[in-house]
Amino acid sequence: MAISRRDLLKTAAAAGVLGGLPGLARAQIDTPEKPSLTIAVGGQALIYYLPLSVAHLNGYFKDEGLDATIADFAGGSKALQAVVGGSADVVSGAFEHTINLQAKGQFYRCFALQGRAPMIVLGVSKKTMPDYKTPADLKGKKIGVTAPGSSTNMMASFFLAQHGLKPSDVAYIGVGAGAGAVTALRSGQIDAIANLDPVISTLVKEDALQIIADTRTLQDAHKIFGGNMPAGCLYASQAFIDANPNTTQALANAMVRADKWIQAATPDDIVKLVPKSYLLGDPDLYKLALKGNREALSPDGLVPEDGPQTALNALAEFVPHFDRTKIDISRVWTNQFAIKAGQKYPHG
């Protein structure tokens, strides 16, 4: 008598031997524990977050069995607040937030990298500061950042500290990460800006901005931070990762696949994929910005070995009274999920 697959599964289940059916066992093991989840991000249209957009728009989250909702906020610090407050499960944000959280007794871990350099540019307005000569000229000025406490804020403060200025010597103004940021500088509401592309390239094209610090290439980022500086990444609480290892792996799979797709794609491919609103009305300028930032985008989702320490050093300079001796840097990152994702998608 022929035995159907259904009968075989019933018999196996009753005998407790599902482990003897590799395909079925693997399907059960790999199924995401939390298929519906929310990812918080601070300025999704920025090239900094392009891998997240690619993973979503290309359906990579769906391919991994996930129904991912993207919640977009004005800056990375706002996205962080969402996950800490419980309205989001995972953050697509700056790596250094994981360190700052641990300093406050909260344990979050990066598990898939999007950027291996910050891609943040600091520039001064040619309208309100036409005679700028040195960083000392910024004292008493208004600097626009995506949101106070975000990585743009940290980069600007770190640069100022290297030139003898304290964060209190300037006023930081949250201007977001899109057209509002461009308008803020154009209109003279701010004297300088720390932001990312396509915002920066738009202002440079208009000859409205003089760049004074740039982290869009590995070489420039190394000069400012002293080593590899991991940037955009997916991070979640350790409690979430422990409770949802399959979900975490599924997220990493989608992100690493997106990282690799970007490396192989042309600027035209990317412009066709992203929403028109990302382009700020100038597709050709967006393509140039893509070329200028490509090196800073992670090719494989892996955190460079020296990166976490570089981030810790930068944060210690940025946050007043920061005690780096209380930080266990090994607990803020892991490459185990990205490595496995790379094995699943060796070519994207």
How confident is the model over 152-204, as pLDDT tens digits?
Answer: 998 999 899 889 998 899 999 999 999 999 999 999 999 999 999 999 999 99
Q: Write the secondary structure of the chain as one string of H (helix), E (strand) and C (coil).
A: CCCCHHHHHHHHHHHCCHHHCHHHHHHHHHCCCCCEEEEEEECCCCHHHHHHHHHHHCCHHHHCCCEEEEEEECCHHHHHHHHHHCCCCEEEEECHHHHHHHHCCCCEEEEEECECCCCCEEEEECCCCCCCCCHHHHCCCEEEECCCCCHHHHHHHHHHHHCCCCHHHCEEEECCCCHHHHHHHHCCCCCEEEECCCHHHHHHHCCCEEEEEECCCHHHHHHHHCCCCCCEEEEEEHHHHHHCHHHHHHHHHHHHHHHHHHHHCCHHHHHHHCCHHHHCCCHHHHHHHHHHHHHHECCCCCCCCCHHHHHHHHHHHHCCCCCHHHCCHHHHECCHHHHHHHHHCCCC
Question: pLDDT band for position 13 (50/70/90)?
Answer: very low
Confidence of residue 12 (pLDDT cuts 50, 70, 90): very low
Answer whether 74's CB lies under 8 Å from 174's CB: yes
Q: Which domains does the chain have, with CATH numbers?
A: 31-118+229-344 (3.40.190.10), 121-214 (3.40.190.10)
* Mean pLDDT, all residues of the chain: 91
8: pLDDT confidence band, cut at 50, 70 and 90?
very low
Q: How much is the average pLDDT of 133-159?
A: 94
Burial class of residue 242 in the structure, from the number of CB atoms within 10 Å of its CB (0-12 exposed, 13-18 middle, 19+ buried): exposed
Looking at the DSSP bridge assignments, the partners of residue 236 are 109
Question: What pLDDT, in 10s, does the model give residues 81-94?
Answer: 999 999 999 999 99
Q: How far apart are CA 271 and CA 31, in angstroms?
A: 33
Task: Report the distance separating Cα 259 and Cα 321, nearest Å.
Answer: 36
- What is the model's pTM? 0.86
What is the tens place of the pLDDT at every residue in 68-82?
Answer: 999 999 888 899 999
